[in-house]
A and B are shown apart, each in its own frame.
Chain A
Amino acid sequence: MSRLAVPKTYKLYIGGAFPRSESGRTYEITTAKGAFLANAAQASRKDARDAVVAARAAQAGWANATAYNRGQVLYRIAELLEGRHAQFVDELRASEGVSAAAAARQVDDAIDTWVWYAGWADKYVQVAGSGNPVAGPYFNLSVPEPTGVVAIVAPQGASSLLGLVSVLAPALVSGNSVVVVADQAHPLSAISLAEVLATSDVPGGVVNILTGSPAEIAPWLAAHADVNALDLTGAGELEWVELQIAAADTLKRVVEPEPGVPGRSLDRILAFTETKTVWHTKALI
């Protein structure tokens, strides 16, 4: 006798909880061939603002965690993702219409991307920082610190899981909190990733995931005064210059669009950091 399956309700991920969109809106997610898969929440301006509030509230705590701790938390994400490997392969096959082998490669790559960035947590400061030999009796040190709240438009259209992880991990590793708009057409693995994050010791609010229309949500994030940086990697199809102009009002750091899935890079970590230079007097002895 066949058992009737229990489908999942896909919602947003804000402040560590899984709310529906306050707007009550959903949109249909289909397979590559057009068959119904699920309804995803269609996030609104208010959802985006709620996500920024959650991200701001969580940021200091995440940044103040030790680098060793942040590295372990990111590594923990990789561990849990590995455990759910099969689920993500199924979801990607259904949503993106890719082969089992291609889906598995994407999940493998996403896991390895978490591991790669996890290792940077307690190293990027050493690589990018400096002890400065100033001409005077001063101890002088420059260290990169997280920028604050980073709003991200994730890569759109293909490799939805890997694309999301490739923009999320580098922003997180230094201690930023994130509001990310997932791949509009393939948002299901983003919400399943949220379930992984929620059980990986990532504090609530550090990652907030919105599903819906980037064209609708991104302008509110670009103009939001409590967002410090804007990653437009997946915004190539949007009016992204307008987003960059809106971001200039509060002088946000902006990363311009890039086609496809961005590679792993230290530059991507440093794009969301600020260099702080501390001068301290030395006694004249």
Chain B
Amino acid sequence: MAKDLAPTSATGFLDYAPAPESTSILHLQKSYGLFIDGAFVRGHGTPFASVSPATEKHIAEIATATPKDVDVAVAAARRAYDKTWSKLSGADRGKYLFRIARLVQERARELAVAESLDNGKPIKESRDVDVPLVAAWFFYYAGWADKLDHAGLGANPRALGVAAQVIPWNFPLLMLAWKIAPALAAGNTVVLKPAETTSLTALLFAEIVQQAELPNGVVNIVTGAGETGAALVRHPDVNKVAFTGSTAVGREIAKAVAGTGKKVTLELGGKAANIVFDDAPIDQAVEGIVNGIFFNQGHVCCAGSRLLVQESIHDEVVDRLKTRLATLRLGDPLDKNTDIGAINSREQLERIRELSDIGEAEGAERWTAPCVIPENGFWFAPTIFDHVSTSSRIAREEIFGPVLSVLTFRTPAEAIAKANNTPYGLSAGIWSDKGSKILAVADKLRAGVIWANTFNRFDPASPFGGYKESGYGREGGRQGLAAYLQAGTALKGAK
């Protein structure tokens, strides 16, 4: 990787020599087809290039699935459901998933490098968070496959059939695992569409599916842009739709499936409040704020993008935050010392810039971490907006980038009111040393995941998902398994 990409901290404090992870572990194809019925096949749309967001260099050519290709994939999934997967014992389904978990662990380094190359996230995150959680997800749900009677739907719950799954570009392989692991454990077959800019690891996963000798057609992967996803979720032979992405697209999907009886899970946008009380452990809180919004360049639906800090400690927290942010290293995602990687696409970078400019125009005080921006690729330095008003667009809209809005409050009641003052309701953070206060505030926050004295923690055993316009359904845990099952007595249409 080019030397000019080596991460630097602007202070010169603890500058390290470049330590890039080698890409020699990757054996990528020049071009990738669609993965249908156990084999890679040609797509009938115009192929597109996947580029590294850090260098804008070409990685591989990816096929585009047309509606006709989607038809073929859904038919393969239906055949596999009817003829093999639904006839297999739960124990055997589980064994296949255990195999996949082990294969992911065996190929962990390769997957992490591919993910950082294609997505732009720092290798320390793909290596230490994304890929280990992928393996954990398959391992967790593998064990459920022969215990479905305990999933909470009564005895002998049934699979739904064919699941259409559309995932975003922020955690490409991890979102794939969140979708495929519970679906297969419950006995469904799947057709999954990765995001256009991050198809690579899904296609490597297809190789893992082959190595695990999963019956043909149980997992199908169709690549392409929005139209491919639209064709997939609208396909009449699909029984379940699972989508993670923007609230705007989630709305379109909810409309498209209205009246079809398809079961739907939607994980959509967020505008999480991270509430810091004056009795919080400040050092931990500052780390938590940084992790909350700068983890994965802020490309996190549950990112703590609104810092609500108690007025009396505002100056101290913001000062310490700036000091801490000045030590973050931005640069080569494959460098082991990198804290902040590349923005995933030019399009996303433009959106972050636009909203940040609006924030400034609306009167918020902008501060940018002093770091060197590489010449090529898509980058955005960690940015804080202070004195943000609740009506400002940067306090209301999801930016999906490394941009933190700072607001203040005086009383717990005001913090709760401001935190809930959003149509979203995905996540929230609370920082205080007083347990009784944390529990009381957690009770009143309208959000699906609440982190107290921590942030951005994920676990396959722990249900994740939103209130209000952040979507419906849960992923993770027993609840996430139930989203792929039906009981004989299930309430019709209940989501």
A interface with B by C-beta (< 8 Å): 127-128, 130, 132-136, 138, 140, 142, 147-148, 228, 232, 240-241, 244-245, 247-251, 253-258, 262-263, 265, 267-268, 270-271, 274-281
Chain A residues within 8 Å of B261, by CB: 256
Which one of A135, A267, A281 lies within 8 Å of B491 (CB-CB)? A267
Given known contacts A134-B459, A142-B479, A255-B494, A278 and B136 CB-to-CB distance under 8 angstroms: no
| Interface class of chain B by DSSP | loop
Nearest A residue to B461, CB-CB:
A132
A130-B478, A142-B463, A228-B468 known; A278 vs B442 contact (CB < 8 Å): yes
Interface size classification for chain B: 35 or more
In the bound assembly, the distance between CA atoms of A277 and B454 in angstroms comes to: 13
List, in ascending order, chain A residues with CB within 8 A of B467's CB.
Answer: 147, 274, 276
Are the CB atoms of A248 and B450 closer together than 8 Å? no
Stretch at the interface among B42-50, B88-96, B252-260, B363-371: B252-260
Please indicate the chain A residues that have their CB under 8 angstroms from the CB of B353 in the complex: none
24 A-B pairs (CB sep. < 8 Å): A130-B479, A132-B459, A135-B459, A244-B259, A245-B258, A248-B251, A248-B254, A248-B255, A251-B251, A251-B268, A251-B468, A251-B469, A255-B492, A255-B493, A257-B493, A262-B491, A267-B487, A267-B489, A268-B494, A271-B494, A274-B448, A277-B463, A278-B442, A281-B453
B454, A281: Cβ atoms closer than 8 Å:
yes
Minimum CB–CB distance from B52 to chain A (whole Å) comes to 31
Q: A241-B259, A255-B493, A277-B464 are in contact. List 4 more A-B contacts (CB 8 A).
A: A251-B469, A256-B492, A267-B489, A267-B494
- Do B454 and A138 have beta carbons less than 8 Å apart? yes
* Central interface residue in A138, A240, A276, A281, by most chain B CB within 10 Å: A276
Number of A-B residue pairs having CB atoms within 8 Å of each other in the complex:
133
Contacts of A232 in B (CB 8 A): 493
User: Given the complex of chains A and B, what is the CA–CA distance between A130 and B266 in angstroms?
Assistant: 21
Contact between B250 and A244, CB atoms less than 8 A apart: no
Q: Is the CB of B152 within 8 A of A249?
A: no
B interface with A by C-beta (< 8 Å): 136, 152, 247, 250-251, 254-255, 258-259, 261, 266, 268, 423, 425, 435, 438, 442, 446-454, 457, 459, 461-465, 467-469, 471-472, 474, 477-479, 487, 489-495
Chain A residues with CB below 8 A from B453, complex form: 280-281
Q: How distant is A52 from chain B, measured CB to nearest CB, in Å?
A: 15
**Chain A residue nearest in CB terms to B288:** A281
A277 & B255 in contact (Cβ 8 Å cutoff): no
Given A135-B136, A142-B463, A253-B469 contact (CB < 8 Å) = no
Contacts of A250 in B (CB 8 A): 423, 468-469
Task: Give complex CA distance A48, B462 in Å.
Answer: 38
Question: Quick one: closest B residue to A242, CB to CB?
Answer: B258
Specify which of B447, B472, B491, B493 lies most central, judged by the most chain A CB atoms within 10 Å of its CB: B491
Task: Choose one: A228, A244, A253, A279; the contact of B452 (CB below 8 Å).
Answer: A279
Residues of B within 8 A of A140 (CB): 459, 461-462
CB distance from A135 to the nearest CB of B (A): 6
Question: Would you call A265 and B492 a contact (CB within 8 A)?
Answer: no
Judging by beta carbons under 8 Å apart, are B454 and A255 in contact? no
For A248, list chain B residues within 8 Å (CB): 251, 254-255, 258
